[in-house]
Amino acid sequence: MPQAHLKVWRGGNDGEYVEYDVEYEEGMVVLDVVHRLQATQAGDLAVRWNCKAGKCGSCSAEINGKPKLQCMCQMGTFEAGETITIAPLKAFPLIRDLVTDVSWNFRVAETMPELKLSPPDADGHRRMHQIDIDREQEFRKCIECFICQDVCHVIRDHPENQSVFAGPRFFTQLANVAMHPLDQNPSSATVAHGFGLDYCNITKCCTEVCPEGIHITDNAIIPLKERRVDEYYDPVKALIRKISGKK
Amino acid sequence: MATATEVQRRYGKTQRVDRWWVEPAFLGGGLLLFVIYSTVSALILGNSWHYEAGPYLSPFFEPLIKPGWVPEWISPAVFILWAPLGFRTTCYYYRKAYYRSYLLSPPACAVTEPAKSYSGESKFPLILQNAHRFFLYVALLFIPVLWYGAAKSFWLSGEGFGVGVGSLILVANAFLLMMFTLSCNSLRHMVGGGLNCFSCTAVTRGRRRVWEIQTLWNEHHRGWAWASLISVGMADLYVHLVANGVITDLNTWTNF
């Protein structure tokens, strides 16, 4: 049976990396090996997990420096004898071992604008066409693993920006509202200064790490930035709005 | 004993074990090479290094604007190059490339950046990146100009229609520059991305179709960006080499 050489963060901010050798079988993922480590050598190892199927977004960690879901990272992708470093998400306060406090994201979620639906048709129903919501269904795939938030350098390297920057996960949520065919919010509600869209310098790390393959940068952030230009930085559009009386 | 915070803060400190520095180094090197070449070829050498050979005109000088009041030491390329320079500098793809390679912001994903503070594109000068769409408008005007230059390269004065290697290079270059422009993210917003209701009218349904096709091109914007950058540099070099007698153009004409 092959052995994995793991280097796992143990403890809080004053903790350290501890090395372990753990046996594993073909087909296992990193989370399986962490569970075996927990069962055999480190009973007090804290690790958050739930579905083990890449759908709950609980087991996010940094594996060899890259933010990933532990349950979707195959052991077969590592070289024989390679040291596998498993660290907690670094953009969020560490609780212990591999568990971080991601509650900042829930506080940001509370600031997101809600859909304001247009009035229903005469028969009391609201109707939308599939072609109008195709784009947004991509954003609904988000499992809130917060890996995109973790890798985003705007908050990862500059935690002080957490007060002015919502982060890529919430830009998909804003895009979802902004592009909704029945939403009645003014466009400023989704592209306003408060969400920190201008802080994003579109280096695409969020897109690179998204386990659901959502094109966060191209399909959410850049379209929002363009809508923001319409709203705040385009004098020609502003003039047209003024002449036509459109908001 | 390294704390998580210490590990995170040190510039370049990362636990990535792959060669994350290869891509920013390669892309940064490629961009630097192009900037040096184009500056020397089009601006510094300018009029002293011939840029016209028979029916061929270097794309750095297309369309040729050479008013009499401009001193000889000023290259006619100055009237042209501000437009592609602005378009490429503010391009969403190139921004990613040079933010990573030159501003190290960040050098690569999950690699700590050196800057102590960060305000992204929210303040001067980077807030000017929002002018991308205005450079797009100018770049769109350049498409027919480049095709005109490419078409002209099949017509040698005194002999008429013919084909040369230079003509084919200029056609390929016009095509690649056109595709780079037409795959732009701002154009994607303009043709249909800014709509919320695609199904509402015949016009919005048509714009959705255009948006879908443009999205296919936009997915390869990086590829078009590099292909067109290389092609415009190569086309310029080829015309210069022919014009200065370094190489001979293979063509169907008898006196060129």
| Contact between chains at A65 and B92 (C-beta distance less than 8 A) | no
Minimal Cβ distance to A181: which of B92, B119, B196: B196
**pLDDT (0 to 100) of residue A241:** 85
Third-level CATH fold of A103-244: Fumarate Reductase Iron-sulfur Protein; Chain B, domain 2 (1.10.1060)
**pLDDT (0 to 100) of residue A69:** 98
Average pLDDT, chain A: 95
Residue of chain B whose alpha carbon sits nearest to that of A201: B120
Q: What is the mean pLDDT of residues B104-133?
A: 95
Per-residue pLDDT band for B70 (boundaries 50, 70, 90) equals: very high
Strands B56-57 and A99-100, sheet pairing: unpaired
Does the CB of B52 have a partner CB in chain A at under 8 Å? no
pLDDT at A247 over 70: no
- CB neighbour list of residue A31: distance below 8 Å, 6 or more residues apart: A47, A49, A52, A59, A70, A71, A73
Chain A residues within an 8 Å CB radius of B131: 233
**pLDDT (0 to 100) of residue B8:** 56
The tokens for B149 are: 């230059």
Q: What is the mean pLDDT of residues B24-53?
A: 95
Per-residue pLDDT band for B43 (boundaries 50, 70, 90) equals: very high
Residue of chain A whose alpha carbon sits nearest to that of B101: A203
Does the CB of B212 have a partner CB in chain A at under 8 Å? no
| Cis, peptide link before residue B106, omega less than 30° from 0 | yes
Minimal Cβ distance to B194: which of A183, A208, A230: A230
| Contact between chains at A227 and B189 (C-beta distance less than 8 A) | yes
Q: What percent of chain B has pLDDT over 90?
A: 91
* pLDDT 10s digits, A10-66: 999 999 999 999 999 999 999 999 999 999 999 999 999 999 999 999 999 999 999
Does the CB of B153 have a partner CB in chain A at under 8 Å? no
Taking alpha carbons only, the member of B34, B133, B31, B41 closest to residue B78 is B41
**Half-sphere exposure for B94 (CA within 13 Å, toward CB):** 20
Does the CB of B220 have a partner CB in chain A at under 8 Å? no
Chain B residues within an 8 Å CB radius of A228: 130
| Contact between chains at B15 and A85 (C-beta distance less than 8 A) | yes
**pLDDT (0 to 100) of residue A237:** 86
pLDDT at A151 over 50: yes
**pLDDT (0 to 100) of residue B3:** 46
**pLDDT (0 to 100) of residue B1:** 41
Distance in Å, alpha carbon of B34 to nearest chain A alpha carbon = 21
Chain A residues within an 8 Å CB radius of B21: none
- Top CATH class, A3-100: alpha beta
Chain B residues within an 8 Å CB radius of A204: 96
Burial per residue of A226-244, b for 16 or more beta-carbon CB atoms within 10 angstroms, e otherwise: bbbbbbbbbeebeeeeeee
Average pLDDT, chain B: 94
Return the bridge partners of A17, or none: A9
Complex ipTM value: 0.93
Does the CB of B183 have a partner CB in chain A at under 8 Å? no
* Chain B, window 16-45: residues with a beta carbon less than 8 angstroms from a chain A beta carbon: 16-18
Minimal Cβ distance to B1: which of A16, A183, A218: A16
**pLDDT (0 to 100) of residue A242:** 86
Answer yes or no: are the C-beta atoms of A146 and A59 closer than 8 Å. Answer: no
- Higher local confidence (pLDDT), B103 or A240: B103
Q: % helix / strand / coil in chain A, to the nearest 5?
A: 40, 15, 45
Distance in Å, alpha carbon of B95 to nearest chain A alpha carbon = 7
Spans of all domains in chain A: 3-100, 103-244
Per-residue pLDDT band for A244 (boundaries 50, 70, 90) equals: confident
Q: What is the mean pLDDT of residues B137-154?
A: 98
Minimal Cβ distance to B120: which of A64, A129, A154: A154
The tokens for A242 are: 């003024």
Q: What is the mean pLDDT of residues A149-178?
A: 96
* pLDDT 10s digits, A60-112: 999 999 999 999 999 999 998 899 999 999 999 999 999 999 999 999 999 99
pLDDT at B2 over 50: no
| Contact between chains at A202 and B8 (C-beta distance less than 8 A) | no
Distance in Å, alpha carbon of B30 to nearest chain A alpha carbon = 18
What is the layout of strands, in order, in the sheet containing A3-10? A16-23, A3-10, A83-87, A60-63, A66-69
